[in-house]
Amino acid sequence: QKEVEQNSGPLSVPEGAIASLNCTYSDRVSQSFFWYRQYSGKSPELIMSIYSNGDKEDGRFTAQLNKASQYVSLLIRDSQPSDSATYLCAVPSSNTGKLIFGQGTTLQVKP
Amino acid sequence: EAGVAQSPRYKIIEKRQSVAFWCNPISGHATLYWYQQILGQGPKLLIQFQNNGVVDDSQLPKDRFSAERLKGVDSTLKIQPAKLEDSAVYLCASSSHLAGGPPGELFFGEGSRLTVL
């Protein structure tokens, strides 16, 4: 089992719809979770972090965490073509602290 | 505030040749990372420095890869000899957090794209 798993996609949604991106992780002790966005040919940038169970909202983005199910998701409301990118889920290893990335989910928002 | 600087942006070499990448982190950031990102995959940590010491190099192929951060500021990643499977983007990142705590936000450079023919 991979340490951090994501569906590679592509996930295609129409403009204005809600995009739902999912991530599962194997380390039950993990305490912090991160979503990075990576545009094609660019480097990753942090867009959300979440540390406790439940939802965290920031503008059009909502991160959801369920530690019991070892599941973290990212919702993007009112999706825009500019949201088209690869979204990387990242979880620190509880043993070493190093940040482990999933393979990323490619999101395509069609006008 | 200046971001993470990397060079060169692109490099094409033949297998068995050597290559070096340079990174200058954000000023004041104690922790520096080198990640390898193969097309279609997420970044994979090669080595993590805190100041000029190595925190984690468990996934660095030490028979061909080496990295240093001699003065605790900028860093160099070297590959010698290169193999076809080393074709990837090499991302340098820095953060202000210290090892042992949650990683916080990593700031990435633009990356160095390596093609090995």
Would you call A32 and B102 a contact, using CB atoms and an 8 Å cutoff?
A: yes
The pLDDT score that the predictor gives to residue B99 is: 62
Q: Which two tokens stand for residue A48?
A: 């959300």
Name the residue with tokens 């070499």.
B13
- Among B66, B24, B26, B16, which residue's Cα sits nearest to residue B46? B66
Confidence class for position A94, pLDDT limits 50, 70, 90: confident
* B44–chain A Cβ distance below 8 A for any pair: yes
User: pLDDT higher for A86 or A53?
Assistant: A86
The confidence score (pLDDT) of residue A98 equals: 83
* A-B Cβ pairs (cutoff 8 Å, strict): 56
> Which pLDDT score, from 0 to 100, does residue A30 have?
86
Average pLDDT over residues A6-22: 95
B30 interfaces chain A, CB cutoff of 8 Å = no
Q: What is the pLDDT of residue B93?
A: 95
B5 neighbourhood in chain A, CB within 8 Å: none
Closest CB to B108: pick one of A6, A43, A104. A43
Question: Is A58's Cβ below 8 Å from some Cβ in B?
Answer: no
Nearest Cα neighbor of B75 from B98, B37, B49, B55 is B49
Asked if A102 has any chain B CB less than 8 Å from its own CB, the reply is yes
Taking the alpha carbons at both ends of chain A, their separation in whole angstroms is 37
**β B31-37/B88-95 pair status:** antiparallel
Which two tokens mark A12? 């295609």
pLDDT tens-digit series, residues A29-64 = 888 899 999 999 999 999 999 998 899 999 999 999
Contacts of B11 (CB under 8 A, 6+ apart): B19, B21, B112, B113, B114, B115
For chain B, counts of helices (H) and of strands (E): 0, 11
Q: Which residues does B56 contact at the CB level (< 8 Å), separation at least 6?
A: A96, A97, A98, B45, B47, B48
Do the Cβ atoms of A87 and A74 come closer than 8 Å?
yes
B41–A43 CB contact, under 8 Å: no
CA B85 – CA B63 distance, rounded (Å): 14
Check if the beta carbon of residue A43 is closer than 8 Å to that of residue B33: no
Tell me which chain A residue has its CA closest to the CA of residue B48.
A98
Look at residues A89, A62, A84 and name the one whose alpha carbon lies nearest to residue A75. A62
A103·B42 Cβ contact <8 A: yes
Q: How much is the pLDDT for B97?
A: 77
Q: List average pLDDT for each run of 10 residues in chain B, which is 117 residues long.
A: 92 98 94 95 94 91 95 94 97 82 82 98
B63 contact A CB<8A: no
Contacts of B82 (CB under 8 A, 6+ apart): B13, B14, B15, B16, B17, B18, B19, B64, B114, B116
